[in-house]
A and B are shown apart, each in its own frame.
Chain A
């Protein structure tokens, strides 16, 4: 008999003690030699749904150790039913995420709740469960996923409290604390470009003003990819506002152009952080540009994709890879930039030099 403390989760616990012991074995590393990423892109906890479908609501939370569990409220033959589910979440490494867009996967057996107590305040009657099918969630961002019930076709679902279609899109403008950690492959580069770099700075994100006209710019004039910014994307200039650290950050990590060199390659006069509709975007170097179509922006196509994932008050930018180019930065490194929102007015000095 399952311990009573589990209440409705008696069957869910599937051997309750294992819940405490189980750890996600997901560890995102690029190769054996690159420093490992220290954190994962975690899907939003709460409710997920599909507009104009019979899906109902999927609700879950993810434990610190990587257990995804929750319930699915839906219908069978028009009648309300609900299931519990529980399983480990598997986080993909950056290469996998870049390849197919999937940041994490959860395969979850379903336990249908068939009966329970007569009413909320009545004497407790342990619910009765039966195993009935499975679901698979393939997360493509913190708020988008594919939902697969048994072997049915995948249904696109979204975390419904996190933005459209029911809520306004998140605005990331404002003041942030930015922690930066770049860890190059040991012994891979000359000391001046290969040292571990870490800092914390204050920064401000401000909406980028200008047309949605872009071009990719590569020193070789052979671009590696299409413009990654979708029409309507939220775009913000990233301005470091803590001077003593900013100069090092801008030159060593962001490799922004010095003012006197802005007319030369590459086109990295300033940084922008953009987010497409699914809260996934990038941190990219950019410069103003003008061509026969008028003014626009030139995106530095440096072939390293610094992917950005937004959530409520946190942005995570990450990269882990090797690129043999002698451009003043280590060839192989892992970079993580984690940003935490500063409430408006928290610091007198946010956005200016202390």
Chain B
């Protein structure tokens, strides 16, 4: 859809209070990738939380939006002009970043839209309907999402303003606690001259909050590397363990393209204030803190994770320019409510096959 070509006044009036143009705004049809090429792209999109976003201590007001299944982002912005309340509608198409762009820029998605100011409307909610009157869009906004709850808001060409999904964590709500039971859906696809392969699995896993000291060491990393991957102070940290089924757990924990743990270490998952973070391999030190492995330490092979409400998405990818063995690993965690599963074994849900 080309937003600039919309006859806003006509379309918005036709829909009453909300855009009719949304009808049929559907596909961001990309080019036809081959099956093999598509395997090396992320299957899960990283996107923003629907609802309200804001910036404390600013005149921003509230930006509210939802994202449709087909990638239409639309909502309204309630703000002020000369101290008086005003509000705009907006609508555009969200552009999800490729894995490469996300790795390089930290931006998971971008949305741009003209702003359509609502000038007048009906007398009251229950009064006879009077179609609202909109101004011609004279301004634009751009949202650059860096996680499910953090973004940069850019109004016309003004300086970006960092904004937050305000119901999703600090400063107004307690940070989300990811500990508990989860369903892990994982897959790995890789290509090498020797062994191109595909692995997929579904497993019941558990995240337990780590309470050890926030000190980290490594015998394999130099101080700069260690500082780059260590959880920031105050980050939420969890030990990931696999409950079952056993074959799925074997693949998840020991496959050298997924977590690749040994007899002593475990996947340490950390999430920062913006709900993004990393998965590392760690060993609890005898005295305090944790020793971190070099696995997943380099930017090219790091597991980057993004927390959402009832979901955590982790992925790592190695591009053909980085290694002759390249591919992608995706792990999506879906929360299992307390009491849903009690840990008993169910059947195997894993496969590992060449392609």
Bound CA–CA A81/B80 (angstroms): 10
What's the A-B contact tally at a CB cutoff of 8 Å?
327
Report the count of interface residues on B (CB-CB < 8 A). 103
Main secondary structure of the interface of B (DSSP, over half): loop
Interface check A233, CB cutoff 8 A: no
> Which of A40-48, A251-259, A276-284 has 4 or more CB atoms under 8 Å from chain B?
A40-48
Residues of chain A lying within 8 A (CB to CB) of residue B65: 46-47, 59
- Structural contact, B66 and A47, CB atoms closer than 8 A: yes
Could you say which of B67, B334, B339, B351 contacts A348, with CB atoms under 8 Å apart?
B351
Residues of chain B lying within 8 A (CB to CB) of residue A183: 339
Binary flags per residue of A27-48, CB closer than 8 Å to B gives 1, else 0 = 0000000011011000011110
Bound CA–CA A149/B124 (angstroms): 11
Binary flags per residue of A43-87, CB closer than 8 Å to B gives 1, else 0 = 011110111111111011111110101110111111111101000
Bound CA–CA A312/B72 (angstroms): 13
- Structural contact, A70 and B44, CB atoms closer than 8 A: no
Interface check A331, CB cutoff 8 A: no
Residues of chain B lying within 8 A (CB to CB) of residue A61: 49-52, 165-168
- Structural contact, B74 and A155, CB atoms closer than 8 A: no
Assuming the contacts A245-B347, A346-B200, asked whether A152 and B80 have C-beta atoms less than 8 A apart, the reply is: no
Interface check B57, CB cutoff 8 A: yes
- Structural contact, B121 and A122, CB atoms closer than 8 A: no
Interface size class of A (residues with CB under 8 A): 35 or more
Residues of chain A lying within 8 A (CB to CB) of residue B35: 345
Interface check A159, CB cutoff 8 A: yes
Could you say which of B18, B173, B334 contacts A63, with CB atoms under 8 Å apart?
B173
Interface check A325, CB cutoff 8 A: no
Bound CA–CA A19/B43 (angstroms): 36
- Structural contact, B346 and A245, CB atoms closer than 8 A: yes
Interface check A13, CB cutoff 8 A: yes
Closest residue of chain A to B159 (Cβ to Cβ) is A121
Bound CA–CA A122/B24 (angstroms): 39
- Structural contact, B78 and A82, CB atoms closer than 8 A: yes
Could you say which of A82, A167, A177 contacts B87, with CB atoms under 8 Å apart?
A82
Binary flags per residue of A329-354, CB closer than 8 Å to B gives 1, else 0 = 00000001010101111111100001
> Which of A193-201, A213-221, A301-309 has 4 or more CB atoms under 8 Å from chain B?
A193-201
- Structural contact, A45 and B50, CB atoms closer than 8 A: yes
Residues of chain B lying within 8 A (CB to CB) of residue A78: 120-123, 130
Bound CA–CA A122/B58 (angstroms): 8
Q: Which residues in chain B, 156-192, are within 8 Å of chain A measured between CB atoms? A: 158-159, 161, 165-168, 171-174, 176, 183, 185, 187
Interface check B61, CB cutoff 8 A: yes
Interface check B79, CB cutoff 8 A: yes
- Structural contact, B121 and A80, CB atoms closer than 8 A: yes
Kindly name the residue among A6, A46, A179, A202 whose own CB sees the greatest number of chain B CB atoms within 10 A.
Answer: A46
Bound CA–CA A16/B172 (angstroms): 7
- Structural contact, A7 and B132, CB atoms closer than 8 A: no
* Complex A-B: 20 CB contacts under 8 Å: A9-B56, A46-B75, A47-B64, A51-B16, A59-B75, A65-B173, A73-B118, A75-B124, A81-B85, A116-B80, A116-B84, A117-B80, A120-B158, A120-B161, A155-B125, A181-B341, A199-B346, A245-B347, A346-B187, A347-B200
Measured CB to CB, the residues of B under 8 A from A are: 15-20, 22-26, 35, 38-39, 43-44, 49-52, 54-62, 64-70, 72, 74-76, 78-87, 89, 118-127, 129-130, 132, 155, 158-159, 161, 165-168, 171-174, 176, 183, 185, 187, 198, 200, 202, 204, 309, 330, 334, 336-342, 344, 346-351, 353, 355
Beyond contacts A115-B85, A152-B125, A343-B44: 6 other A-B pairs, Cβ-Cβ < 8 A, are A36-B339, A47-B65, A54-B126, A63-B173, A75-B123, A80-B118
